[in-house]
Amino acid sequence: MGSILVLGGAGYIGSHTVWELVESGADVVVIDNLETGFRAAVHPEAKFYEGDIRNRDFLDSVFKKERIDGVIHFAANSQVGESMIKPLKYYNNNLCGTETLLESMVSHGIQKIVFSSTAATYGEPETIPIHETDRTVPTNCYGETKLSMEKMFKWTANAYDLRYVSLRYFNACGAHPNGKIGEAHNPETHLIPLILQVPNGKREYISIFGNDYNTKDGTCVRDYIHVNDLAQAHILAMKYLQEGKESNIFNLGNGVGFTVKEVLETARKVTGHPIPAKEEPRRSGDPSTLIASSDKAKEILGWKPEFDNLETIVSTAWNWHRNHPNGYDVQ
């Protein structure tokens, strides 16, 4: 069997997936343009190519050099707020990049792709928990481009000998238990690392946006999934395709939501720091509750999340951030 090509394999979820793939004995090739990824995050035993998936000649050269069996696709811009003020950047990288990738894959006869999608494809949920059959009406440009990428896979698979799995999920969090890789975004927008910036001396307090939602303590409820569990789901999805099974879409989630205040209290417990919080008005576009049902992934892929305890998730994140306060930057 050939190698697994991981696009965006120097990014947060990509690097954890690469690490788990290599540790499982797979041959792994990584492509990343290092726009938001870090060379230091890539497992030393993975073969690394720096380049952009919008460059057809570059992609063709990698497909010619390497014997690729399947592709796991993380390469995308992924900030909701930025997507609303720079939509064309998101269409260019996410959509044009994927179109170039698929052209190259079809040309080289590569037939399997696992796609890192998002639960932002659903928009405002009609029901909780969200199921794969629910309507998809994205409320931001990022979610719209990811949904468009899914449709591109669907119609390309319909026309060519290609099969895909799309994985939709919410809040990736935590860090590898080995402490060698973790989350490093600039700017940081995710709740857990933002909270942990307070005990790390990077900010004075954490803002809580809205305390009057229809939830148990008035703050937003979100579905947090440990990054290693996400990595395992991508690996299981590739195995599913390698077994010759049909294209499919799966949600990934804990199925249990935690409020912002619950996450904050857990972080206080884990770090032993008071972590002051400041209550601020709601942010526009923040739904009160987002929880995904992952029954289908558990049943069909055999996915079993191991890190479904919030304290464990926050502990792995704190272990990383405490020892790497500047991320991969050694300064």
Asked if 328 contacts 40 with a C-beta cutoff of 8 angstroms, the reply is yes
Cα–Cα dist 202/316, whole Å: 19
| Stretch (H or E) spanning 255 | none
Cα–Cα dist 184/196, whole Å: 12
Of the candidates 142, 164, 213, 240, the residue annotated as catalytic is: 142
Asked if 66 contacts 48 with a C-beta cutoff of 8 angstroms, the reply is no
DSSP letter for each residue of 134-190: S--B-SSHHHHHHHHHHHHHHHHHHHTT-EEEEEEESEEE---TTSS-----SS---
Q: How many CA atoms lie within 13 A of 75 on its CB side?
A: 30
Cα–Cα dist 84/162, whole Å: 32
Backbone φ, ψ for residue 48 (5° rounding): -110, 130
142 catalytic residue (yes or no): yes
In this structure, what token pair is assigned to residue 96? 């044009």
Q: Give the active site residues.
A: 142
